[in-house]
């Protein structure tokens, strides 16, 4: 497949991603369905953070075969189009679902500093959630600034700026079917133009 010019190195292929999502879904079903059968409404509430989690959420839920699931979304801003988080994340679009007494599974693209998910976890418990678990497809553990860990993660990734499979640069490149380290030298003078 032709690589996007901003790709320095593909680190995880589409095939590897798909395989991992199947494994994650299996282990999450085992946890909720086989081991914790006291789910409120027998349903897990999958909460995706827009927009990065969309490709992961889409593939993840189709792998759930035993578990009833509901999908909801919220929007949190932290990067604002840059390649580094600007600091304090904030909720830019809330969900109007009633989280009280619900079993929430946060479905996320990547954990870096951990600030976004720490905020969302506290927010959900504040709304009365019965349980809050985290599943992220990518985990940038070296970037961690706060005490926050995923209950399930797909891949450990390097502490570099990544693009693809939901991860964006200036709201583009979320559509790449693989995950790549971005070419930071090219990014410095990058102009969006017609791809050759
Ligand atoms: P955290 O609050 O620092 O954990 O940041 C989490 C959010 O930052 C993720 O949900 C992503 O939207 C974004 N993010 C973190 N690392 C990257 C990256 O390498 N590329 C693109 N977005 C990223
Ligand atoms: Mg995100």
| Top mutation candidate among 79, 134, 146 for ligand 1, by most atoms within 8 Å of CB | 79
Distance 186 CA to ligand 2 centre (A): 23
Per-residue model confidence (pLDDT) at position 65: 95
Residue ranges per domain, the chain?
A: 7-30+43-78+91-187
Residue 31, pLDDT above cutoff 80: yes
Q: How high does pLDDT run on average in the chain?
A: 94
Note the ligand closest to the C-alpha atom of 73.
2
Annotated catalytic residue 112:
yes
The residues, ordered by sequence, that sit 6+ positions from 115 with a Cβ below 8 Å of its Cβ are 78, 85, 88, 89, 145, 146, 148
Per-residue model confidence (pLDDT) at position 83: 60
Per-residue model confidence (pLDDT) at position 15: 98
Distance 43 CA to ligand 1 centre (A): 28
Contact call for residues 157 and 139 (beta carbons, < 8 A): yes
Query: What percent of the chain lies above the pLDDT cut of 90?
Result: 86
Per-residue model confidence (pLDDT) at position 85: 59
Per-residue model confidence (pLDDT) at position 141: 97
Tell the residue nearest (CA) to atom 3 of ligand 1.
113
The residues, ordered by sequence, that sit 6+ positions from 19 with a Cβ below 8 Å of its Cβ are none
Per-residue model confidence (pLDDT) at position 2: 85
pLDDT in tens, 133-176: 999 999 999 999 999 999 999 999 999 999 999 999 999 999 99
Topology (CATH) of 7-30+43-78+91-187? Rossmann fold (3.40.50)
Instruction: Determine the average pLDDT of the residues in 15-37.
Output: 95
CA dist., res. 42 & res. 170, Å (int): 39
pLDDT in tens, 74-124: 999 876 555 665 668 888 888 889 999 999 999 999 999 999 999 999 999
Per-residue model confidence (pLDDT) at position 1: 72
Per-residue model confidence (pLDDT) at position 86: 60
Residues near ligand 1 (Cβ within 6 A): 49, 52, 78-79, 85, 89, 108-116, 140, 161-162, 167-168
Q: Which two tokens stand for residue 9?
A: 């190195």
Distance 38 CA to ligand 2 centre (A): 29
User: Strand 90-93 vs strand 68-77: parallel, antiparallel, or unpaired?
Assistant: antiparallel
């Amino acid at each position: 497949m032709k690589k996007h010019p901003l790709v320095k190195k593909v680190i995880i292929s589409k095939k590897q991603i798909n395989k991992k999502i199947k494994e994650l879904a299996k282990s999450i079903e085992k946890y909720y369905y086989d081991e914790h059968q006291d789910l409120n409404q027998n349903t897990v509430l999958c909460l995706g953070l827009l927009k990065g989690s969309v490709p992961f959420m889409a593939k993840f839920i189709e792998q759930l075969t035993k578990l009833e699931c509901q999908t909801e979304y919220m929007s949190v801003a932290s990067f604002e189009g840059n390649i580094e988080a600007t600091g304090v994340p904030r909720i830019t679009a809330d969900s109007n679902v009633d989280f009280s007494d619900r079993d929430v599974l946060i479905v996320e693209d990547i954990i870096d500093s951990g600030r976004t998910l720490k905020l969302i976890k506290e927010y959900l418990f504040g709304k009365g959630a019965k349980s809050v678990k985290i599943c992220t497809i990518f985990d940038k553990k070296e970037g961690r600034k706060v005490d926050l860990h995923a209950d399930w993660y797909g891949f450990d990734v390097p502490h570099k700026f990544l693009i693809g499979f939901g991860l964006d640069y200036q709201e583009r490149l979320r559509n790449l079917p693989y995950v790549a380290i971005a070419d930071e030298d090219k990014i410095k003078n990058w102009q969006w133009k017609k791809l050759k």
